[in-house]
Structure 1
Amino acid sequence: MTDSKPTLGSSDDGSTRGMKRIWYRTTLFNAFIIGGVGFMAPGLWNAMNSLGAGGAESPYLINAANALVFSLMGFLCLFGGPIANRIGMNWTLLLGAVGYPVYSAALYTNNRFGNEWFVLVGAIACGLSAGLFWASEGAVALGYPEPAKRGQYMNIWLWFRTGGPLLGSAIVLGLNHSASSKSKGKVGSETYLIFVALQCLAVPLAIFLTRPEKVQRSDGSKVKIVVQDSWRAEMLELWKLSHRKDIMLLLPVFWASYFNQYEGNFETYYFGVRARALIGFVAYLGTLISSWSISRILDYRMLSIKSRLTYTFYYVIFLHILAWIYGWVVQEQFTKMSPSYDWSDKGFTKGLFVVILWEFSRQALQNWLYYFLSTMTDNISELSRLSGILRGQESFSQAVSFGLNTRDWYGGRVPLAVNTILLGLAVLPTWFVLRDHQPIEHDRSDDNLTHLHDEEQHPEKFIDNTRKGDIVVGETSVTR
């Protein structure tokens, strides 16, 4: 099955030479690969955490394990870009999927036998693995698609990634819906076995990811790659990028975007097992709608990219104001009452909408951030570093947040206050970066112009993709 539209070997005048597209090298196929791995690996991991504390009865051990996961993940995300650029995106993605089933198996042994040490081992495996996964996944999701379809393909990726928690929550709900699950407690141990089996499938799927230089876009443009000739050179590029003024100013929003790990405690404090399962399922439906809504605006071609980014920035701010005001009101009520709601209880809906609004606003910010970064460069090597920095900083923030939530903190007021302050501090520096940002807006013919600049402002380092398989190493072109 092939598409007859020729795209490889574009000439300077925008015409294409006679090579047909191969379906397994198209951007759509690769969006499904990256989405499928995200669906089964981190997606199902998120489904367990959407139960509150990985489905455990008490949140404190699991929060400590998750703090370890995200600490390690933060470091590996930062260095994931250079690693992916050296060993390849598909191998990085494969290694990034390995640790997830190990962690799920550890949660099973803890649930069934009370084993605690394996939870920490699983957390280490998952943290190391997840760092590589997020660095490679972000670069593929941002760098492979055609520029005009970037929001659309990012939405496909995020729908898959959110579909994993949705399926996982449906499984959990199906296994924990009986009357015996009305009260507080932990989920049934058989739930974890299904998750382990599904997450194992993500590992072989990753190997089918196409290498960047072989990707065939529908508009004939090429994925631009700048491969450094040594590990030292890769680390130097990462160091330069990390100290750029705009990246430094974005650090507060990188931290604020995923800091709200109090959500798991909120569910374990105030809801029974089957109510938590239902909340996880419904909240992810809201996440899908949020991703779809903002992606439609980000790909709206009647507006310039700068206008899309500006309008959606204010949209994200509005969503967070709404979500956090409502969250504070409900939290104060729950702190006084200390309820334990089942889904049949009158106060259940009030708490459900807190979680839905938190997830809805957070997903909108995630889409916006990824799209924003994708307009900073059209070189996938730099995108892998940018996505690694983003996910690395988000992971550090999650580690701190999970650590913060290993204690009760007066009914949740402390983590809520920290979240609110972080979000407030992030607005102004993010606006400064957006105000001065000049997004890359180019059409198909731009990909063939050799006078454009890469992140080092050396035009000679761009790849001349008119010759299939050409790739640039440092400043020397070699053919694979």
Structure 2
Amino acid sequence: MSSHGDEESGTETQLSSKSNIFRYNSPLVQVSLTGFVCFCCPGMFNALSGIGAGGQVDPTASDNSLTALYTTFAVFGVLGGGICNVLGTRLTLFCSCFTYVLYTGSFLYYNHHHDQFFAIVAGSLLGVGAGLLWAAQGAIMTSYPPPARKGTYISLFWTIFNMGGVIGGLIPFILNFHRTTAASVNDATYIAFMCFMSAGAILSLSILPPGSVVRNDGTRCTNIKYSSVSTEGVEIVKLFMNWKMLLIVPAAWYSNFFYTYLFNNVNGALFNLRTRGLNNMFYWAAEMLGSVGIGYLMDFSFQSRRNRGFVGIGVAALLGTVIWGGGFSNQLRYSHHDLQEKLDFASGGDFAGPFLLYLSFGLLDAIFQSIVYWIIGCLANDSETLSRYVGFYKGVQSAGAAVAWQVDRHKVSFMSQLIVNWSLSTVSYPLLVVLVMLAVKDDINTEKGNVQEDTIPSTNSASVNDNNGGLDITT
């Protein structure tokens, strides 16, 4: 009897350890840490891009550097999932973060020398780094959470990540508050961004590989070991023949395409320098609000997961129609050849309407992207497959962005850019509905592409070997 009691006690101890959601190797902690890495790097990058023209009065250098960035991002976004599966998440994230520091440094250099060559080269390298970072991030965000709580974890990540945009928007607002007629942000603004990005690179070393992350029920997030170059090459080619990925293409193309119009031709065209920073702060705050709301809807609104997908897409389509309609009305008031006097946040009523519109686009952005990530996360459970799916999504997304920055570079009319963006978003919704209808199952165990999850053996302790750093995690 005593032996039996000891065995039960050991099992209870093990379960208690696993049920602690704040374990270092728990999905909650690892997704949160990934969120803070992205807070420091792409979050600050978003703040820099969001103030328009990279903080410069002339958008030429910014447009060209971002075209170079998204061109290489399109390639390495697709390849990123395979590279991440070979290198591991920690090394992939660590190397990627430094490309953000270099890119911001190129604009610090441009502030003094006005030579865009460095910015274009740095943009190309950032495209490589961003492709790898987002593939690793996507695999973590979509495969680590319990299958029934993917919306909640996606909203958690999106909230932490977009806090970087909020803080990043506050930086140029504070540091340039008294420079109401300045042509570009000051050096201190770029240096502050670089400090945050460097901190993100250091923080990325805290990320564990998928095989070391254990859910509360004792299952590992994946039983996949590191892959080979030949295997990944074959699997990446297959993505372009995968009907699920083809249905995502319009949504992926749109999801970064509209940033050019919004950042340069709404925020950059209508508001002065310090107000653009303030607008960005509220834009990314609206993203946080949108991600929390849609995360709750996608996990808790209906028992049927497929119905949750339909409702989420319906909400995004309705809001998108209203907000883009508001953008159309606003765009009738100005053009390339008829720009208004720059608005300041102290302008009162004239400021309020365009400000609320800009904020609404942030809300829509978070809702739309969270839904797409949620759908991708429903297509499989293992990190290896999902890293490829997310890599494909980010690659197409970045190809769209590369085209968008050159469209703006060649002075295509603001109204034409708006109509293309609105049309892309409208086309994407019915295709996402078809994808949910055909590929998202209510029973998570019937999803094609899922792997059987490993369960930690029922012993007093479970050792999980970390192949990406030699750590030994005991739960």
In the superposition, the TM-score normalised over structure 1's length comes to 0.87
Q: Distance in 2 between matches of 1:415 and 1:365?
A: 19
**Equivalent residue for 2:419?**
417
Indicate conservation of the 8 Å contact 1:316/1:361, yes or no: yes
Q: CA deviation at 1:464?
A: 4.3
**Equivalent residue for 1:38?**
38
Q: Distance in 2 between matches of 1:103 and 1:154?
A: 27
Match for residue 195 of structure 2 among 185, 194, 197: 197
Indicate conservation of the 8 Å contact 1:463/1:470, yes or no: no
CA-to-partner distance for each residue in 1:438-468, whole Å, 9 max, x for gaps?
33644xxx6xxxxx7763x8x7xx5644456
Alignment of 1:72-471 (within 5 A): 72-178=72-178, 180-181=179-180, 183=181, 185-227=183-225, 230-260=228-258, 261-266=260-265, 267-300=267-300, 302-335=302-335, 338-345=340-347, 346-410=349-413, 412-439=414-441, 441-442=443-444, 455=449, 462=452, 464-466=454-456, 469=464
Q: CA deviation at 1:104?
A: 0.6
Residue type of the partner of 2:256? Answer: Y
Indicate conservation of the 8 Å contact 1:375/1:440, yes or no: no
Q: Distance in 2 between matches of 1:354 and 1:229?
A: 46
Q: CA deviation at 1:429?
A: 2.3
Q: For the structure 1 residues 16 and 373, does the alpha-carbon distance in structure 2 shift closer, same or farther, using more than 3 Å as the test?
A: farther
Residue type of the partner of 1:427? Answer: Y
Q: Distance in 2 between matches of 1:50 and 1:64?
A: 16
Q: Distance in 2 between matches of 1:228 and 1:241?
A: 19
Indicate conservation of the 8 Å contact 2:379/2:447, yes or no: no
Q: CA deviation at 1:108?
A: 0.9
Q: Distance in 2 between matches of 1:296 and 1:320?
A: 19
Q: For the structure 1 residues 431 and 209, does the alpha-carbon distance in structure 2 shift closer, same or farther, using more than 3 Å as the test?
A: same
Q: CA deviation at 1:268?
A: 2.1
Secondary structure of residue in 2 paired with 1:197: helix
CA-to-partner distance for each residue in 1:334-383, whole Å, 9 max, x for gaps?
33563321122232122112211222112100000000110111111101
Indicate conservation of the 8 Å contact 1:463/1:471, yes or no: no
Q: CA deviation at 1:78?
A: 0.7
Q: CA deviation at 1:52?
A: 0.9
Indicate conservation of the 8 Å contact 2:69/2:123, yes or no: yes
Secondary structure of residue in 2 paired with 1:166: helix
Worse-superposed segment, 20-29 or 117-126: 20-29
Indicate conservation of the 8 Å contact 1:92/1:132, yes or no: yes
Q: CA deviation at 1:470?
A: 8.5
Secondary structure of residue in 1 paired with 2:303: coil
Q: For the structure 1 residues 325 and 280, does the alpha-carbon distance in structure 2 shift closer, same or farther, using more than 3 Å as the test?
A: same
Indicate conservation of the 8 Å contact 1:16/1:220, yes or no: no
CA-to-partner distance for each residue in 1:64-110, whole Å, 9 max, x for gaps?
11111111111111111111111111111112212000001011111
**Equivalent residue for 2:3?**
none
Residue type of the partner of 1:145? Answer: P
Q: Distance in 1 between matches of 2:447 and 2:420?
A: 41
Structure 2 unaligned blocks of 5 or more = 1-9, 458-462, 468-475
Indicate conservation of the 8 Å contact 2:74/2:395, yes or no: yes
Q: CA deviation at 1:236?
A: 1.3
CA-to-partner distance for each residue in 1:186-235, whole Å, 9 max, x for gaps?
21221001111111111121111111111121232221243475311122
* Higher share of residues assigned helix: 2
Indicate conservation of the 8 Å contact 2:380/2:447, yes or no: no
Residue type of the partner of 1:262? Answer: Y
Q: Distance in 2 between matches of 1:414 and 1:184?
A: 30
Secondary structure of residue in 1 paired with 2:186: coil
The percent of aligned pairs where both chains have the same amino acid is: 22
Structure 1 unaligned blocks of 5 or more = 1-8, 447-451, 473-480
Q: Distance in 2 between matches of 1:337 and 1:80?
A: 41
Q: For the structure 1 residues 439 and 184, does the alpha-carbon distance in structure 2 shift closer, same or farther, using more than 3 Å as the test?
A: farther
**Equivalent residue for 1:20?**
17
Q: Distance in 1 between matches of 2:287 and 2:424?
A: 22
Secondary structure of residue in 1 paired with 2:345: coil
Q: Distance in 1 between matches of 2:248 and 2:119?
A: 33
Worse-superposed segment, 300-309 or 135-144: 300-309
Secondary structure of residue in 2 paired with 1:232: helix
Q: Distance in 1 between matches of 2:88 and 2:423?
A: 39
Residue type of the partner of 1:241? Answer: L
Q: CA deviation at 1:55?
A: 0.9
Worse-superposed segment, 37-46 or 412-421: 412-421
Q: For the structure 1 residues 257 and 434, does the alpha-carbon distance in structure 2 shift closer, same or farther, using more than 3 Å as the test?
A: same
Secondary structure of residue in 2 paired with 1:409: coil
CA-to-partner distance for each residue in 1:221-253, whole Å, 9 max, x for gaps?
221243475311122122223311121122111
Secondary structure of residue in 2 paired with 1:282: helix
Q: Distance in 1 between matches of 2:228 and 2:447?
A: 21
Q: For the structure 1 residues 464 and 454, does the alpha-carbon distance in structure 2 shift closer, same or farther, using more than 3 Å as the test?
A: farther
Task: State the number of aligned residues.
Answer: 445
